[in-house]
Structure 1
Amino acid sequence: MRRRNVLRACLILLAASQLPSPAQAEQIIRMSTTYTTADSGLLAYLLPMFEKRTGAEVKVVITGTGKALELAKHGEVDVSLTHARPAEDKLVAEGYGVKRHDVMYNDFILVGPANDPAGIKGGKDVIAAMKKIIAGKARFVSRGDNSGTDLIEKAYWKQIGDRPQAPAYISAGAGMGEALTMAADKEAYALTDRATFAAYKAKTGLVVAVEGDPKMFNPYGIIAVNPAKYPGVNYKGATQLIDWITSDEGQRAIAAFRVAGQQVFFPSAKVGR
């Protein structure tokens, strides 16, 4: 019995030695964010700068915006960086997030095969173009993952009052990069953010069909999870990340990021506020 108790005590000590100390835990920041920030390469570019500056470590959960905000709502992360303004505002209004901060913006574009079967290339009206896709029975690949991109696409179809029917309409249930790869394979159109498209353009052969519509503006915001709801969250670390990404240094870093030589994210925080 004594040997068993000694063994149990050793196992407890071993487990305790593998847990992060309170100081170490405070340096770990859990962030949920979208496929677009990862697929474009932005996270791999930005986060090492922040980590070097602060000594903190950011553990990232990459998923669709809907899921990213759900993780915040349930206190499973400390901070969320997403691009679905109504859902972000709702998270804050319901008390799960402390405040939404503008970070940056990019834009959505409609892309498709070079032969342009729907005849929409060169257009600047996304709704008119999507009506032509329906009328021409052209194929369209949807993210289908409750991401910010998916929500915007569904809002366009809702405004039209229709959408392509199967088999022309293909729900990928995947991230933006995978959806673009599928669109190339199916010679289909897709709605995408410009940053991810720039990263995947060469490997897919897809071309920009429609761009420049104000409806396709795509703002990103960052929100710390409310410690009043979830006392265990790393609110200090979340605030530290928010302060950096919205600072002069963070905003300059966003502006300097390039994909294939092209600026694809534009800083929008009120620097110097």
Structure 2
Amino acid sequence: MKHLLRNVAVTLTALFVGTAAHADEDRYITVASTTSTEASGLFEHIVPMFREETGIDVRVVAVGTGQAFEIGRRGDADIVLVHDTTGEEEFVTNGYGRERRDIMYNDFILVGPSEDPAALRESDSALDAFSRIAEAEHPFTSRGDDSGTNRAELRLWEEAGVDPSGQWYRELGSGMGETLNTAAGMDAYTYVDRATWIAFDNRQNLELVYEGDPVMFNQYGSLPLSQERHPDLKHDMAEEWHQWLLSDEGQAAIASYELRGEQLFFPNAE
């Protein structure tokens, strides 16, 4: 009888440990986010802080903003963090997101060959800079992937009255890192978020040639998904992540991330 009871106790202990381990494995959320937040190293910096505080891990699917929206619409992530405010507001209005909140910002810049053949350093504005590239017909690499960066770039061409086309304009359909690599190989201009540029190592002859126009502001937002559309998602844990990003602790974590002596993202939650 004692032997039987001991076996039962061992079996129950194993079941308890196995159940607890399985529960721990389920303590994670999936975030659909932009390549800039991942490639810059931001998530690698802040996720351990969130995990330490909550016991929840964060798994990131890093894609262009347009793809992140699509992942969210399908319910293949628990929450979305992207950088296209107009698209984010539409996402919520159309019932896919529960709300949209500002989290942080940085800016976009134009980089190009150090010789600056289109004289972008002399530009009066971002629209002037884009017009100069088109007039010079100097090679320009565009992500061409419906990312937040690509959407912002296309808006500036339109506002500058330019239809970017021809041999000089290269739509790549690739992420920011690949687009920068192509620009470096071609001595081309490109439009990039500052965080990815700071983290980018293969600059070759590329330099920052234009910055500072307010229209190049780059806002990031967090969007918890609709419980009505996707009731099976991990909404409670996703809400913990969302609220942590908005909290003093989360905002301080974002502000504390630096690379090469520069702060990459600036918190601005309200």
CA apart distance, 1:163: 3.5
- Superposed displacement of residue 134, structure 1: 0.6
Residue 209 (1) aligns with residue 209 (2): yes
The alignment's TM-score, normalised by the length of structure 2, stands at 0.89
Q: Separation in 1 of the partners of 2:228 and 2:22? A: 20
Equivalent residue, structure 1, for 2:74: 74
Corresponding position of 1:121: 121
Report the CA distance between 1:20 and its aligned residue: 9.8
SS in 1 for 2:98: strand
Cα distance, 1:24 vs structure 2 = 4.2
2:65 paired residue number: 65
Match of 2:158 in 1: 158
Q: Within 2, Cα distance between the matches of 1:96 and 1:69?
A: 9
Tell me the CA shift for residue 129 of structure 1.
0.7
Q: Deviations over 1:98-133 (max 9, x none)?
A: 111110000000110101010112535111011011
Residue 19 of structure 1 deviates from its aligned partner by 10
TM-score, with length taken from structure 1: 0.88
Residue of structure 1 in register with 2:42 after alignment:
42
- Give the equivalent residue in structure 1 for 2:252: 252
Identity of aligned residues (%): 40
Q: Which moved more, 1:148-157 or 1:204-213?
A: 204-213
2:269 equivalent to 1:269: yes
Cα distance in 2 for partners of 1:243, 1:29 equals 14
Partners of 2:190 and 2:163 lie apart in 1 by 13
Correspondence 1:226-245 to 2 at 5 A: 226-245=226-245
Conserved in 1, the CA contact under 8 Å of 2:42 and 2:257? yes
* SS in structure 1 at match of 2:81: strand
Q: Does 1:142 align with 2:128?
A: no
Matched residue SS, 2:119: coil
How much has 1:262 moved relative to structure 2?
0.6
Aligned position for 2:7: none
Q: Which residue of 2 aligns with 1:7?
A: none
Query: Residues 130-166 of structure 1: CA distance to partner in whole angstroms, max 9, x if unpaired?
Result: 1011111111000111000000111111122324433
Segments of structure 1 that go 5 or more residues without pairing to the other structure are 1-17
d(CA) in 2 for partners of 1:20 and 1:154? Answer: 50
C-alpha deviation, 1:94, in angstroms: 1.1
Amino acid at match of 1:231: P
2:108 matched to which residue of 1?
108
Contact 2:108–2:191, Cα closer than 8 Å, also in 1: yes
Are the structure 2 counterparts of residues 20 and 107 from structure 1 closer, same or farther at C-alpha, using a change threshold of 3 Å?
farther
Q: What are the Cα deviations for residues 81-101 of structure 1, in whole angstroms up to 9, with x where unaligned?
A: 000001100111111111111
- Report the Cα distance in structure 2 between the residues aligned to 1:212 and 1:130, rounded to whole angstroms: 14
Against the structure 1 CA distance between its residues 228 and 20, is the aligned structure 2 distance closer, same or farther, given a 3 Å change threshold?
Answer: farther
Contact 1:149 1:193 in 2 (8 A): yes
| Secondary structure of the corresponding residue to residue 102 of structure 1 | strand
Q: What residue number does 1:130 align with? A: 130
Q: Which amino acid aligns with 1:174?
A: S
> Residue by residue, what CA displacement relative to the aligned partner does 1:241-272 show, whole Å, maximum 9, x if unpaired?
011111111111111111211112100012xx
- The count of corresponding residues between Structure 1 and Structure 2 is 254
Residue 162 of structure 1: SS of its match in structure 2? coil
Aligned residue identity for 1:226: S
Q: Say yes or no: does 1:199 pair with 2:208.
A: no
RMSD between aligned residues: 2.0
Deviates more, 1:213-222 or 1:18-27: 18-27
